Chains A and B, each alone.
Chain A
Amino acid sequence: MLLTDQEVKTLEKKANDIRISIIEMLAEAKSGHSGGPLGMADVFTALYFNLLKHDPKNPQMPERDRLVLSNGHICPVLYATMAHAGYFPVSELLTLRKFGSKLQGHPHREFLPSLENSSGPLGSGLSQAVGMALADKIDFDKLSPRYVYCMLGDGELNEGQNWEALMLGAKEKLGNLIAIVDRNNIQIDGYTEDIMPLLPLYEKFKAFNWHVQEVDGHDMDSIVTAVNKAKSVFEKPSVIIAHTIPGRGVSYMEKRYEWHGVPPGISDISGAPEKAQQVKVALDDLKD
């Protein structure tokens, strides 16, 4: 155990607060993605409240770690985590997807300059992260003053550009690069293994010559341990396959791909309460 029980509890409480914010902001926006953001709340909490070198009061701090969000559609979890970490007021989360908001439907750094990248179209983030890590390798060789993290969805691995980036990352031996894949097994049209099978995913990454780990993406200590282990690997880039449950914490959303791209409260989906009750049930689930 790298974390004390108390530290785990604190992080879990924070992750739950972030999930509540995600539901509130999606309900207010009446559009946006639910499944992925809820599923990744634990990983984002571990990063922003334990792992990342960053300073919300000085977001441009040169030596900060860089976090690239590749699957931009899960930005509600990024925005909520950043707000809870102090980058901007939590109350601003309710402006999600509204005209003039810092919180664009897919993240845009022109509106929220503390973002490292703008994203949305899938499959490009890993290349950007490789570029960042490569720039540091040119300047500092193996003594990079920071790490580059790249958050990826599993469905987005359908995009061929990821595999171009994986080859380059391995070729350039980017030990300062840590990719985290949200392995939640869903994408818009269905379950990943039905749409375009990714298995054997661990072996694929291995074959591309990356250091590969698999973790329970809801276990704080496992997440922190895996990232620290990745940092100890100098000679190759690391990928952590974080197994998560999409919709985590909201009973009627968990494991259901239908909730990939839909907010609570606007559509009747089998297995869910009537739409008028969905927001309340979701918040009740999370406040239990």
Chain B
Amino acid sequence: MSINKHYINQHVLGDIKSLEQVPIRKGFGEGLVEAGDLNPNIVGLCADLTESTQMHSFRNKYPKRFVEIGIAEQNMASVASGMASMGKIPFITSYAMFSPGRNWEQIRTTICYNDQKVIIAGSHAGVSVGPDGGTHQAIEDIAITRVIPNITVIVPCDAVEAKKATLAIAKSSKDGGTDTPVYIRLGREKSPVVTTEDAPFEIGKAQVVYELDENEFLELMSAQGGESSMTFKLNRDNNIKHDVGIVACGVLLYKAIKVAEALKLEGVSVKVLNLATIKPIDEESLIALAKETGAIVTVEEHQVAGGMGSAVAEVLARHAPVPMEFVGVHDRFGQSGTPDELMEEYGMGEKDIKKAVVKVLSRK
């Protein structure tokens, strides 16, 4: 099998209807309650979106540890900083557009510059929020958080990973968590559960989720006579190296895997990396992938400028420069529509990922 079954649900390659679909934010909400069970210092703060951000379960279980801030995201960030300085571990939630969007300077100064561990959970990120339209579609949040020194940035790919990430970031570094401020990005819509319950989650560690094994390589080579269906000849110096690497994060990891599987049938070998932690970035895994494949495509539901792809490019430009293509939003605002319509319109559909792979291969 091409998928890493330890990490990835085996139904991923089948019909999407057979896959469980759960909003990523729901995994966060469940993780927060469990983290709250384990540590009485965890407190929750919300800016009038408690159910939307899935903090309501925590509020219902621990009402005394929950603070309703009202529609005041700037205040929420700085209040959380003050609480953290007294030993609390505050989680603050709103839509990503408002937190870290509206309150960016408060996050920079009162949380990060003050070096207080506050977890900023931004829900409803990306164009997949859908009908609410461009005002509510945060597609700049990875860029504006990852430039701040002293912060960890995490983009879970599904609800299961979001729950594990939430539990991990609640812990201190000595328990395998982190002592830094954290931004965790959450999606609103139901999305495929890609990862397994058993998949380990480690902050700062990327995971290969799809690759061909030796038999598949042999099969691929013999079936195509060593040639792919591409209109150009693939630059292959060693047949046990993958032709291209896809680095994906968030809901688009699912599509990246689907594209990898489709391309296998066309004689192209793709390795897919789940880059759940954007910062600190897993340089080692990225460099290894670039060195093996010699061509990288990044896939994210975010502006290409400054996002995950930019972070990957910053690493590879210095350590393993290879041709790269970037799937994401290209310098536009979002608009109303269904998530599927918007993903297509903004160039983040499976066909766009495939197009980017073909293009990067042609540049090898």
Contacts and interface: CB of A to CB of B under 8 A. Distances in A.
Given A128-B81, A164-B72, 8 more contacts: A117-B114, A127-B106, A128-B114, A129-B82, A130-B79, A135-B87, A161-B75, A161-B78
Interface in A110-147: 110, 116-121, 124-125, 127-136, 138
Contact of B82 (A118, A132, A160, A167): A132
A26 interface: no
Interface of B is mostly: helix
15 contacts: A68-B82, A110-B115, A117-B82, A124-B109, A124-B110, A127-B77, A129-B82, A131-B78, A132-B83, A132-B85, A134-B83, A135-B83, A161-B106, A164-B70, A164-B75
| List of 9 A-B pairs having minimum Cβ-Cβ separation, nearest first | A131-B82, A127-B78, A164-B75, A135-B86, A128-B82, A131-B79, A164-B72, A132-B82, A131-B83
Given A164-B75, A167-B70, A124 B106 contact: yes
Interface stretch (B61-69, B171-179, B308-316): B61-69
B79 to A, nearest CB: 4
A165 B75 CA distance: 6
Contacts, number: 98
A130 B86 contact: no
B109 A118 contact: yes
Nearest to B78: A127
Nearest to B85: A132
Interface string B316-348: 000000000000000000000000000000000
A108 interface: yes
Nearest to A115: B114
Given A109-B114, A164-B74, A117 B79 contact: no
Interface of B: 43, 64-65, 67, 69-70, 72, 74-75, 77-88, 90, 105-106, 109-110, 113-115
Contacts of B90: 131
Contact of B85 (A116, A138, A161): A116
Nearest to B150: A110
A127 B82 contact: yes
A115 to B, nearest CB: 10
A138 to B, nearest CB: 6
A69 to B, nearest CB: 12
A168 interface: yes
B72 A131 contact: no
Interface string A145-172: 0000000000000001100110110001
Contacts of A172: 67
A168 B69 contact: yes
Given A119-B109, A121-B109, A127 B74 contact: yes
A131 B81 contact: yes
A130 B85 CA distance: 12
Given A135-B87, A164-B74, A108 B82 contact: no
B347 to A, nearest CB: 37
Contacts of B114: 109, 117-118, 128
Given A109-B114, A116-B85, A168-B72, A127 B109 contact: no
Contacts of B72: 161, 164, 167-168
A172 B88 CA distance: 17
Interface in A213-246: none
Nearest to A127: B78
Given A117-B85, A118-B109, A135-B88, A128 B65 contact: no
A165 B78 CA distance: 9
Contacts of B115: 109-110
Given A110-B115, A120-B109, A131 B70 contact: no
B227 to A, nearest CB: 59
A121 B105 contact: yes
A236 B67 CA distance: 17
A135 B118 CA distance: 14
Nearest to B77: A127
A32 to B, nearest CB: 19
Contacts of B77: 127
A143 B115 CA distance: 28
A119 B77 CA distance: 14
Contacts of A131: 78-86, 90
Contact of B86 (A125, A132, A165): A132
Interface in A15-47: none
Contacts of A160: 74
Given A108-B113, A138-B43, A128 B88 contact: no
B45 to A, nearest CB: 9
A175 to B, nearest CB: 16
Given A131-B83, A132-B86, A138 B109 contact: no
Nearest to A110: B115
Most buried by A among B65, B74, B86: B86
